[in-house]
Structure 1
């Protein structure tokens, strides 16, 4: 799979998909069959230390779990905490730890272990959304072996959602004091053999707390960047794989293959260099000229066909954070080359005399955007890179425009936090440094009331648009294809292969 689409993609709803009828797979009536190795290929594994992950979260949940879990529809449900309670002021979280949960080394999970994980994140991990939550902690206490009380300096609304990615490890995990090399978790599968960029083999854990699960003997995650997994799916070399839209149609004709979407969306955007903008891109008129030159509908049709959603927001209609008035006021909803050229003239810019440096992942849709920019008369030096190369080049801030996408997230905060001055992986959005925006996001995060929190996030979004930091093109919903013998499985809300009420712990293979 190429990194640019299957590893960061998303959509609208199953009913809107052209393969919706094909996608519906009835749950098996037969008793689950035990054994077998599920061969799975969606996302990669970027580190053996789950607390230090940088965004590739499609593998970790096989062997580590959080206090909470996201349901397939995006709600929060108990995981390692069998129950949780939030104080009326939103500052005190009380978690009741599930009884008789064992780590993969046989030790019983206790509240002290949870506290140790929270303290490790707070004191040893730099950057990332996990530290954002833990730095809010005023006190982390374990009044008894099964109770954890987290007291925050101020309300932090995303915490229950983020707790689904605050993975609990045994403090006996090798490398605990520095970088964990052999994570000891509580998940249905264990940390087996890892060959970066090649494969990860995860044997089943016989002492898993969900009695009788998992059914599989192991899961083998294919971590290679394969452009087209279709042949491997047809041959049975893969059982489950993420598939891009341009590779999907032929697979839908195979009755043994079933395609279904991840619930959350991937959003596509055009970013500008906000950290060190070179002239003339420090002029908002030039940025807006680029926005007017892009045919958003054409680009998103290229990405996801008629299922694509064109908007100017990081969420889609139906999401509580979507604002219809803002959507309706999108000045870039339709291309306007005439307006683009007029803005360039106003700014005194002759496109023929300015070469643009454009960065993207290796994918097809950025090439379409580049052609639209070239139509204004600019010479464009487009560099398409793999994930590591793109991160390195973006961090140098020696470019003008970046064409990227960002995938499903457990909470809207995990999208906004990347726009903050000290947020994780800010390079995709041009390294924004804006204290006013930081304050607006902080205000939203600290607001316990949902309606006011939504309004605060919207104020932050309007700041982003007013400053022309980047422009949203639209959204798509990623598609995962599974073979007919895969039973009891369906995609989740994010790329996670496992959650409390679904995923690979409940999956089995027909003979």
Structure 2
């Protein structure tokens, strides 16, 4: 896949990029039919949409959920034309949109939706929705177009999360094990897939949004390319995520249209919380590392003055952001004297300990490694690709992990990865903390939003008090369109398609 902004970044310390000021505008015209859109953001990690591990930039072209996330982060109806939630937050009623067909021609029914819920509950381990589906007391198709999902206890993130419960035909090959040929309802079909190379998705002529899609196909480039900007300028790509060190030439080109994804990518330094080795099992040593890192310098390197430095998983303006906690960040500025004092207090001679540090193959972790070295530690820094990083993280034979995590449909999708049995917890050191689990569960079960905000904040303060990891800051990832791309703009997350926008509405000018 192309080098995505949210994961393996090769970034430079550019000044802030005034995207809004330099963004050209293109007059809208009558959509033109035909053409193949060449698109490159995130990749495709599995043919089974229920088993994805976070690569969300492709599959929404061929599968859809009951809901979707609008560009402002709100929930909107999608395959469910409407939904209702009972006052106690336990009963969800979804009215399934009529006339929707799967790619094999079968009409979508409420029974198909229930089958997908049951599959996630009983056949899928890990993933964003497993905890929600495990909490289901019943899943019933009360008639051909109505699904009632009753929960054992309230689960506030559900409407956001079912935007990623992609509805597939139970006739999809591999349904009882691992799906190999997904049959969805999206504007494009699952065509030819060459992993890490290309995925071609032909248009679905029977798509339920009348007259759409306009394109005849979308071709997703899955390769790792150092400079997608060159491919954009050459016309080999129409849409691509572009890292900021490659963005400046495109900002000078009137034929390019850079726009940010609305949610953020957040950067962090995590510790091995599952099998820590001495002296990293001493909180004072972890705190010394925190004081050694210059967060502003790191984030300037990542995104210039556009970067947001904070100690939280969200940014100002988000309902879950707490200003008082932000203002009290003791790691907001580096303090080497304090760091060295903590090491002395812990009885640690850093010159006698080599730290194992892992990251993706990015440039910015090197800046953090150099900051840690100033304390006297020798550092063995290993930069890995996706597969290698997942394997090494899961071995828990490292000390510090320097990674980032991209936009999500709901804040729960960030917190769930901090729970003891959460999906893909390795980036955060495999936290095993029953008290934290309880705090997160309490937030998740709270229907009242102000109380839910307070509960999540309590969980976050618990994380910070135990020094499991330190947030460095945030950036908004950038996607660039060529001028001929019409009717499409980035959404709230990396999804290329949602109810009120995306690839179904995209077209190419002649």
TM tier relative to shorter chain: over 0.9
Give CA deviations for 1:443-485 in whole Å, capped at 9, x if unaligned: 0000000010000000000000000000000000000001000
Note the 1:65-214 alignment, pairs <5 A: 65-214=64-213
Q: Give the conservation status (yes or no) of the 8 Å contact 2:102–2:184.
A: yes
TM-score when scaled to structure 1? 0.97
Q: Deviations over 1:403-454 (max 9, x none)?
A: 0000000000000000000011111000000000000000000000001000
Distance 1:499 1:22 in 2: 26
Residue 214 of structure 1 contacts residue 507 of structure 1 at CA under 8 Å; is this kept in 2?
yes
Whole-Å separation in 2 of the counterparts to 1:354 and 1:8: 28
- How many corresponding residue pairs? 504
- Matches of 1:267 and 1:133 in 2, distance apart? 24
Q: Which residue is 1:12 aligned to?
A: none
Structure 2: tracts of 5 or more residues without a match:
10-15
Q: Which residue of 2 aligns with 1:481?
A: 480
Normalised to the residue count of structure 2, the TM-score between the two structures is 0.98
Match of 1:21 in 2: 21
Contact 1:4/1:362, CA 8 A, preserved across alignment: no
- Deviation of 1:4 (Å): 6.6
User: Residues 6 and 243 of structure 1 are in contact (CA less than 8 Å); yes or no, is this contact kept in structure 2?
Assistant: no
Matches within 5 A, 1:208-227: 208-227=207-226
For the residue of structure 1 that corresponds to 2:119, the secondary structure is: helix
**Distance across 2 between alignment mates of 1:17 and 1:165:** 32
State the secondary structure of the residue aligned to 1:395. helix
Change (3 A) 1:438 1:3: farther
RMSD: 1.1
Kept in 1, the 8 Å contact 2:7–2:404? The answer is no
C-alpha distance in 1, partners of 2:456/2:413? 12
Distance across 2 between alignment mates of 1:116 and 1:8:
36
Q: Check the 8 A contact 2:140/2:149 in 1, yes or no.
A: yes
> What is the correspondence of 1:8-407 to structure 2 with a 5 Å cutoff?
17-28=17-28, 30-407=29-406
3-state SS, counterpart of residue 318 of structure 1: coil
Tell me the CA shift for residue 25 of structure 1: 2.6
* Alpha-carbon displacement from aligned partner over 1:193-216 (angstroms, at most 9, x marks no partner): 000000000000000000000000
Q: Write out per-residue CA displacement over residues 361-415 of structure 1, whole angstroms, 9 at most, x where no aligned residue.
A: 0001000000000011110000000011000001000000000000000000000
In 1, the alpha carbon distance for the partners of 2:347 and 2:115 equals: 59
Q: CA 1:27–1:187 in structure 2 vs 1: closer, same or farther (change >3 Å)?
A: farther
Runs of 5+ consecutive residues of structure 1 not aligned to the other structure: 10-15
Q: Does residue 421 in structure 1 map to residue 399 in structure 2? A: no
Q: Is the 8 A contact 2:271 2:400 kept in 1?
A: yes
- Secondary structure at 1:472's aligned position in 2? strand
Q: Residue 173 of structure 1 contacts residue 180 of structure 1 at CA under 8 Å; is this kept in 2? A: yes
Q: How far apart, CA to CA, are the structure 2 residues paired with 1:80 and 1:385?
A: 39
